[in-house]
Structure 1
Amino acid sequence: MALALVLTTISPDVGGVLVRGEKGTAKSTIVRALASVLPPIEVVAGDRFSSDPRDPAPLSPDGPFAADAATESRPVRLVELPVGATEDRVLGSLHLERALSEGRAEYEPGLLARAHRGILYVDEVNLLHDHLVDLLLDAAAMGRSTVERDGVSVEHAAHFVLVGTMNPEEGELRPQLLDRFGLTVEVAAPRDPAARVEVVRRRMAFDRDPDAFAASYADAERTLTDRIQAAQALVGDVVLSDAALLKIAEVCAAFDVDGMRADLVIARTAAAHAAWHGRTAVTREDIRAAARLALPHRRRRNPFDAPGLDEELLDQVLGDPEPDPEPEPPTPDREPGADAEDAGAADGSGPEPSASGSDPTEPADGPADGAADPQAAPAQDPSTEQPEQPTPPAPPAPAPLGAGDDATTTVAAGAPYRTRLFAVRGVGSGESGRRSRAVTETGRRIGARPGTRGPVHVTETVRTAAPHQLARGRTGGPLRFLPQDLRVADREGHESNLVLFCVDASGSMAARRRMEQVKTAILSLLLDAYQRRDKVGLVTFRGQEAELVLPPTRSVDIAARRLDALPAGGRTPLAEGLLEAARVVELERVRDPRRRPLLVLVTDGRATAGADPVGRSRAVAEGLARAGLATLVVDCENGPFRLGLARVLADHLRADHVPVAEVTASVLTAAVNERVA
Structure 2
Amino acid sequence: MTTGADTARTQRALAALAVDPGGLKGLTFRARMGPARQAFETALRKLSGPQRRIHPAITDDQLFGGLNIAASLAEGRPVRDAGLAEQPSTLTLTMAERTPSGLAARLAQLLDADRGHALILLDEAASADEGAPQALLDRLAFHIEPPEAATPVRLPAAADLDAARKRLPRVSLPDDALPLLVTLAARFGIHSLRAPSLALRAARALAALDAEPAVTQDHLQEAAELVYPSRATMMPAEAEDETPPDAPEPDQSDNADENGEQSLTDLPDDILVSAIAALLPTDILDRLAAKSTRPANAAGSGAGDRRRGNRRGRPLPSRPGRPSAQSRIDPIATLRAAAPWQTLRRTGRNADRALVILPSDIRIKRFEDRSDRLLIFTVDASGSAAVARLAEAKGAVELMLAQAYARRDQVALLAFRGTGTETLLPPTRSLVQAKRRLASLPGGGGTPLASGLMAAGDLGQLARGRGLTPMLVLLTDGRANIPLSGEPDRATANDDATRIAASLRQQGLSGVLVDTSNRPNDAARTIAAALGARYLALPRADAQGISTAVTSALEA
Specify if TM > 0.5: yes
8 Å CA contact retained: 1:636, 1:659: yes
Aligned to 2:167: 230
Is 1:4 the equivalent of 2:17? no
8 Å CA contact retained: 1:505, 1:569: yes
Aligned to 1:391: none
Cα deviation for residue 16 of structure 1 reads 1.6
Once residues 374 and 556 of structure 1 are traced to their aligned partners in structure 2, the CA distance between those partners, rounded to angstroms, is 27
Once residues 260 and 443 of structure 1 are traced to their aligned partners in structure 2, the CA distance between those partners, rounded to angstroms, is 37
Is 1:139 the equivalent of 2:107? yes
Aligned to 1:540: 415
Deviations 1:592-634 (A, max 9, x none): 4xx5442111223322213413455456556656876532233
Mean CA deviation greater in 610-619 or 500-509 = 610-619
Change in Cα spacing, 1:82 to 1:654, as seen in structure 2 (3 Å) is closer
Cα deviation for residue 108 of structure 1 reads 1.9
Once residues 328 and 662 of structure 1 are traced to their aligned partners in structure 2, the CA distance between those partners, rounded to angstroms, is 82
8 Å CA contact retained: 2:124, 2:131: no
| 2:92 aligned to which of 121, 133, 144 | 121
Deviations 1:217-267 (A, max 9, x none): 99x4323321233124436x45345751453233322xxx57555455445
Aligned to 1:675: 553
Is 1:130 the equivalent of 2:67? no
Change in Cα spacing, 1:563 to 1:98, as seen in structure 2 (3 Å) is same
Cα deviation for residue 90 of structure 1 reads 1.6
Q: Which amino acid aligns with 2:34?
A: K
Aligned to 2:298: none
8 Å CA contact retained: 1:99, 1:106: yes
Once residues 507 and 178 of structure 1 are traced to their aligned partners in structure 2, the CA distance between those partners, rounded to angstroms, is 48
Deviations 1:554-573 (A, max 9, x none): 68899799879876542111
8 Å CA contact retained: 1:121, 1:163: yes
Aligned to 1:164: 121
Aligned to 1:252: 188
| 1:174 aligned to which of 119, 128, 132 | 132
Aligned to 2:511: 631
8 Å CA contact retained: 1:448, 1:490: yes
Query: Unpaired runs of 5+ in structure 1?
Result: 36-75, 146-156, 203-216, 302-309, 337-372, 377-413, 421-431
Once residues 269 and 240 of structure 1 are traced to their aligned partners in structure 2, the CA distance between those partners, rounded to angstroms, is 16
Once residues 71 and 398 of structure 2 are traced to their aligned partners in structure 1, the CA distance between those partners, rounded to angstroms, is 57
Q: Which amino acid aligns with 2:327?
A: G
Aligned to 2:452: 577
Once residues 57 and 334 of structure 2 are traced to their aligned partners in structure 1, the CA distance between those partners, rounded to angstroms, is 25
Aligned to 1:112: 85
Q: Which amino acid aligns with 1:80?
A: R
TM-score (norm 1): 0.57
Once residues 316 and 274 of structure 1 are traced to their aligned partners in structure 2, the CA distance between those partners, rounded to angstroms, is 30
Change in Cα spacing, 1:507 to 1:279, as seen in structure 2 (3 Å) is farther
Q: Which amino acid aligns with 1:598?
A: M
Change in Cα spacing, 1:165 to 1:233, as seen in structure 2 (3 Å) is farther
Deviations 1:182-221 (A, max 9, x none): 3112334768xxx88xx9xx9xxxxxxxxxxxxxx99x43
CA-based RMSD of the aligned residues comes to: 5.3
Is 1:32 the equivalent of 2:45? yes
8 Å CA contact retained: 1:606, 1:646: yes
8 Å CA contact retained: 1:439, 1:492: no
8 Å CA contact retained: 1:119, 1:162: yes
Aligned to 1:23: 34
Secondary structure of 1:606's counterpart equals coil
Aligned to 1:221: 158
Change in Cα spacing, 1:190 to 1:556, as seen in structure 2 (3 Å) is same
Deviations 1:510-541 (A, max 9, x none): 67567865775576467546xx3x43333332
8 Å CA contact retained: 1:183, 1:293: yes
8 Å CA contact retained: 1:10, 1:272: yes
Mean CA deviation greater in 238-247 or 1-10 = 238-247
Once residues 635 and 114 of structure 1 are traced to their aligned partners in structure 2, the CA distance between those partners, rounded to angstroms, is 61
8 Å CA contact retained: 2:65, 2:82: yes
8 Å CA contact retained: 1:252, 1:263: no
| 2:52 aligned to which of 56, 79, 88 | 79
Q: Which amino acid aligns with 1:505?
A: A
Q: Which amino acid aligns with 1:636?
A: T
Once residues 545 and 201 of structure 2 are traced to their aligned partners in structure 1, the CA distance between those partners, rounded to angstroms, is 49
Is 1:186 the equivalent of 2:145? yes
Once residues 501 and 187 of structure 1 are traced to their aligned partners in structure 2, the CA distance between those partners, rounded to angstroms, is 32
8 Å CA contact retained: 1:17, 1:163: yes
Change in Cα spacing, 1:223 to 1:546, as seen in structure 2 (3 Å) is closer
Cα deviation for residue 297 of structure 1 reads 3.4
Secondary structure of 1:601's counterpart equals strand
Aligned to 1:94: 67
Deviations 1:460-503 (A, max 9, x none): 44655677899999842596845x65431024686532222222
Q: Which amino acid aligns with 1:247?
A: T
| 2:175 aligned to which of 235, 239, 244 | 239
8 Å CA contact retained: 1:461, 1:487: yes
Change in Cα spacing, 1:286 to 1:144, as seen in structure 2 (3 Å) is closer
Cα deviation for residue 655 of structure 1 reads 0.8
Once residues 622 and 561 of structure 1 are traced to their aligned partners in structure 2, the CA distance between those partners, rounded to angstroms, is 33
Once residues 413 and 505 of structure 2 are traced to their aligned partners in structure 1, the CA distance between those partners, rounded to angstroms, is 20
Once residues 415 and 438 of structure 2 are traced to their aligned partners in structure 1, the CA distance between those partners, rounded to angstroms, is 11
8 Å CA contact retained: 1:539, 1:549: yes
Aligned to 1:293: 226
Secondary structure of 1:608's counterpart equals coil
Once residues 43 and 549 of structure 2 are traced to their aligned partners in structure 1, the CA distance between those partners, rounded to angstroms, is 49
8 Å CA contact retained: 1:92, 1:111: yes
Residue correspondence of structure 1 range 252-271 to structure 2 within 5 A = 252-253=188-189, 261-270=194-203
Secondary structure of 2:44's counterpart equals helix
Secondary structure of 1:609's counterpart equals coil
8 Å CA contact retained: 1:182, 1:265: yes
Aligned to 1:505: 381
Once residues 163 and 416 of structure 1 are traced to their aligned partners in structure 2, the CA distance between those partners, rounded to angstroms, is 22
Once residues 190 and 583 of structure 1 are traced to their aligned partners in structure 2, the CA distance between those partners, rounded to angstroms, is 28
Deviations 1:57-92 (A, max 9, x none): xxxxxxxxxxxxxxxxxxx43333246644421232
Once residues 506 and 33 of structure 1 are traced to their aligned partners in structure 2, the CA distance between those partners, rounded to angstroms, is 56
Change in Cα spacing, 1:551 to 1:581, as seen in structure 2 (3 Å) is same
| 2:536 aligned to which of 643, 657, 660 | 657
8 Å CA contact retained: 1:258, 1:298: no
Once residues 98 and 461 of structure 1 are traced to their aligned partners in structure 2, the CA distance between those partners, rounded to angstroms, is 16
Query: Unpaired runs of 5+ in structure 2?
Result: 1-9, 241-249, 264-277, 282-288, 296-301, 484-488
Cα deviation for residue 584 of structure 1 reads 3.7
Secondary structure of 1:229's counterpart equals helix
8 Å CA contact retained: 2:181, 2:224: no
Once residues 237 and 208 of structure 2 are traced to their aligned partners in structure 1, the CA distance between those partners, rounded to angstroms, is 22
Q: Which amino acid aligns with 1:120?
A: L
Q: Which amino acid aligns with 2:64?
A: L
Once residues 20 and 513 of structure 1 are traced to their aligned partners in structure 2, the CA distance between those partners, rounded to angstroms, is 37
Change in Cα spacing, 1:661 to 1:294, as seen in structure 2 (3 Å) is farther
8 Å CA contact retained: 1:418, 1:524: no
8 Å CA contact retained: 1:579, 1:620: yes
Change in Cα spacing, 1:272 to 1:635, as seen in structure 2 (3 Å) is farther
